[in-house]
Amino acid sequence: MDTTARRGTFQWTVLAPLLAMLVLIGTWARHDHAVTLVGIGVFLIAAVLAAVHHAEVVAHRVGEPFGSLVLAVAVTVIEVGLIVTLMVGGGPGAATYARDTVFAAVMITLNGIVGLSLLAGALRHRLVSFNASGSGSALATVVTLAGVCLILPGFTISASGLEYSTSQLTFAAVASLTLYCGFVFTQTVRHRDFFVPVASDSDGRVTGIRDEDGDGHADPPSERETRLSVVLLLIALVAVVGLAKLLSPTIEGVVTELGLPHPVVGVVIALVVLAPESIAALNNARRDQVQISLNLAYGSAMASIGLTIPTLAVVMIWLSQPLTLGLEPTQIVLLTLTVIVSVLTLAQGRALALQGLVHLVLLATFLFLSAQP
């Protein structure tokens, strides 16, 4: 890698979290001017990009599948922070922000990141290969989490509407965290080899585990660089949550002025948070490392539910407003279609470009119906 390019990237990713924190401190008391709000938005995006970059540095140091786990958790921390700040701020859609954001994250990861990765990888390499056992177990975990946390609340009778009662929410939170921790143990300890890049023959059939030393990546970062990235990652996460709190009324206001439904706010949050991760997945797919792309996609979907719901269950102790988690009928249909297509995609451990296109069409359908229900 070019030394100048590395130095430029290094300087940008170091400055972004620090400047974002300074902007947060400087605008905390007064941030109602249009120019100030634009600046907050710019540094919010910069902080998100920097946070994901430093998470990737740490991920590269620890290797796969730990790397995908670090990145997924970092993104989920940002997502949870944005959800909580919007809920605390109130507003007409506060009760459904969590559901809308989590569901949007699931649809974007399962259809957007997966579809983009399969399409880009297959167009470049004709076929893409992955470990169906590892990715299949990840998908099963995501589907179970989505069923328990997003579908069942609409069918229980202990609480009105699409809500869980306190005891039901507690159970869902414990079950989600247990399932997430169980998968992490499986991915990183028990069956780690199911989640590392695979080697394949000319027909895309998996022939074994790929030699990670020859994956085309740059050398792992030094211990000093890794420690610096950990510190800057924490600063970036704090800056993102703080700047999002300042910007959240503006996001809600723009959505209302455009006459769009309140769920669009959740879609915007998920798109912003997952954009850098989508780029990371796309880059891995182009290097014929689709397994890592799938790890990122399913890991993010899993963390989005498995970590967000337990966090919200604790937050609801201090919030008196309702928490609507159950999906609407249209959302349930979209999730069902996504699950069916995902199972068919993973069945053989290899995929064509067409399968990626199918996932992207499902994503486009979700985005269109979110704006035009």
Tens digit of each residue's pLDDT (9 = 90 or more) over 303-326? 889 988 998 898 888 877 888 999
In a domain, 7, yes or no: no
Distances in Å between the Cα of 273 and the Cα atoms of 67, 134, 224 are 18, 25, 27
Q: How confident is the model at residue 10 (pLDDT cuts 50, 70, 90)?
A: low
To the nearest whole percent, how much of the chain has pLDDT over 90? Answer: 31
Residue 28: the pLDDT is 82
pLDDT at residue 216 in the model: 41
Q: Which two tokens stand for residue 204?
A: 């895309």
Indicate the residue type of 172.
A
Structural domain span for residue 132: 64-215+247-371
Within a domain: 346:
yes
When divided into structural domains, the chain yields a total of 1
| Closest-CA residue to 313 (of 175, 183, 166) | 166
Give the CATH number, domain containing residue 169.
1.20.1420.30
Tell me how far CA of residue 166 lies from CA of 158, 163, 370, in angstroms: 9, 9, 29
> Does 218 have pLDDT greater than 60?
no
Distance between CA atoms of residues 98 and 186, nearest Å: 28
How far from the centroid of its chain's Cα atoms is residue 163's Cα?
Answer: 24
Task: Tell me: pLDDT of 190 over 60.
Answer: yes
Query: In DSSP terms, which residues pair with 63 in a beta bridge?
Result: none
User: Does the pLDDT value for residue 344 go beyond 80?
Assistant: yes
Q: How far apart are CA 130 and CA 288, in angstroms?
A: 10
pLDDT bucket at 370, cuts 50 / 70 / 90: very high
Mean pLDDT within 177-195: 81
Length of the chain: 373
CA 94 to centroid of chain Cα atoms: 21
Res 203 pLDDT > 70? no
Whole-number pLDDT of residue 328: 94
Instruction: State the CB neighbour count (10 A cutoff) for residue 25.
Output: 11
- DSSP letter at 274? H
Q: Let me know if residue 21 belongs to a domain.
A: no
| Per-residue pLDDT, 6 | 47
Q: Is 11 within the bounds of a domain?
A: no
Per-chain mean pLDDT for the chain:
82
User: What is the mean pLDDT of the segment spanning 177-201?
Assistant: 75
With respect to residue 74, please indicate whether it lies within any of the assigned structural domains.
yes
12 is a domain residue: no
Rounded Cα distance between 78 and 273, Å, is 7
Beta strands (DSSP E) in the chain are: 128-129, 198-200, 206-209, 350-351
Q: What is the mean pLDDT of residues 219-225?
A: 73
Reported as a single tens digit per residue, the pLDDT across 22-44 is 998 988 877 777 788 888 889 88
Q: Is the pLDDT assigned to residue 219 strictly greater than 60? A: no
How much is the average pLDDT of 160-180? 92
Mean pLDDT highest for which of 54-68, 135-149, 236-250? 135-149
Q: Is residue 242 part of a domain?
A: no
The region of weakest confidence among 15-29, 138-152, 241-255, 282-296 is 241-255
User: Is pLDDT of 157 > 60?
Assistant: yes
222 exposed, middle or buried (CB, 10 Å; 0-12, 13-18, 19+)? exposed
What is the tens place of the pLDDT at every residue in 120-129?
Answer: 999 988 888 8
pTM: 0.82
> For residue 367, what pLDDT is reported?
95
Residue 71: pLDDT band with limits 50, 70, 90: low
pLDDT at site 220: 65
- Which residue would you say has higher pLDDT here, 144 or 323? 144
CA torsion sign, 293 to 297 to 298 to 304? positive
pLDDT at 171: 96
Residue that wins the pLDDT comparison between 361 and 79: 361
Give domain status of residue 93, yes or no: yes
Question: Would you say residue 4 has pLDDT above 70?
Answer: no
The fraction of the chain above a pLDDT of 70, given in percent, is 86
